[in-house]
Each structure stands twice: as C-alpha cells, then as structure tokens.
Amino acid sequence: MEPQDCIKLIYQNEFGAAHAVNNSEASMELLMQEYESVTADASDELIIPIGNHRCRMNLAKAKTILTAGEVGRWFLSDAACAPGSMAEFMHKIKLFKKNWESYGFTYTQEQVDEFLSWYRSQGYPAVHHTPIYKAAYNPHYRVMFSRNYQNID
C-alpha cells in the first residue's frame, strides 16, 4: 500500500461509497461490467472489514452466491446512508500521519508528506488505488455497511 491507498481506505472508512453513486444508473452499469469481468472464486473472503461498520464486499466471492443485481441494490442503498464527517476524516488523516510507521509500511515520511500536501491542494477528494496496489491485490469490491452481510456466506 502506498500513502494514496491508505487515504483511500480512510476515505471509505469515513464516507463509504457515496462519492461513487452520483448517478445510480451509471453506477449499476459499472458494477454489471465489473461483475462480468471478475472470475468467481468461492475460496475468497466475501467481507473485508474496514472499520466504522463498513466493509469491502469482494466481488469474486459475491459472484458465487449473489447476483449482480443483489450486490448493486445493497451497494446503492448503503451508499446513500451515513455520509460521514469531514472533521472525523481529518482526524483520521492526522492519526495516519502520526502513526503510519507502526503499520510496517515501506514508504518514507517524505512520501507521506508529499502525498498529503498534494491531497490537501486537491480538496481531499476520493482517490483511486495506485497501480502498485492494483497489481498486488487486483481489487474488485464494493464498500457497504458490514452489519448487513455478516451471515451471508
């Protein structure tokens, strides 16, 4: 994980996926396309907790037990709830900046500071995963409230 990937996780933890659902129809279309492209994998974990009662629902596992429509309806419903707080988000960024080394990341303080400076200059937007993260993890998921899916698989 690069600093950008950490901030993406913190953003999702605080704001969920509301930023990804400006247009419900377009969001569903993107989900359908991604769902089709993902290879189903029953051995994957369905739910990856990210804190704050939220999770990343792994589409590879979901594809083995749920339809794309089911995932999409849950995703859209959850994205519309609990928008989060900029004050809490900023607090979490400060905690990350103060404690990132304790998590064993291999980047430098300079890289953290450089990314956070750029991020601040952009107005703290939602960001994408870095190419390094995509290559390592091949992420295909949707952010949702974890309490709704505890006993699904």
Say what the pLDDT of residue 149 is: 58
Nearest to 147 by CA among 55, 76, 56: 55
* Residues 144/54, Cβ–Cβ less than 8 Å: yes
Domain boundaries, the chain: 3-148
Say what the pLDDT of residue 82 is: 67
Nearest to 146 by CA among 74, 44, 42: 74
* Residues 4/131, Cβ–Cβ less than 8 Å: no
Say what the pLDDT of residue 148 is: 59
Say what the pLDDT of residue 113 is: 96
pLDDT digits (tens, 9 = 90+) for 70-101: 999 888 888 777 678 999 999 999 999 999 99
**The two structure tokens encoding residue 147:** 């309490």
Question: 153 pLDDT exceeds 60?
Answer: no
pLDDT digits (tens, 9 = 90+) for 105-133: 999 999 999 999 999 999 999 999 999 99
pLDDT digits (tens, 9 = 90+) for 30-70: 999 999 999 999 999 999 999 998 999 999 999 999 999 99
Say what the pLDDT of residue 79 is: 78
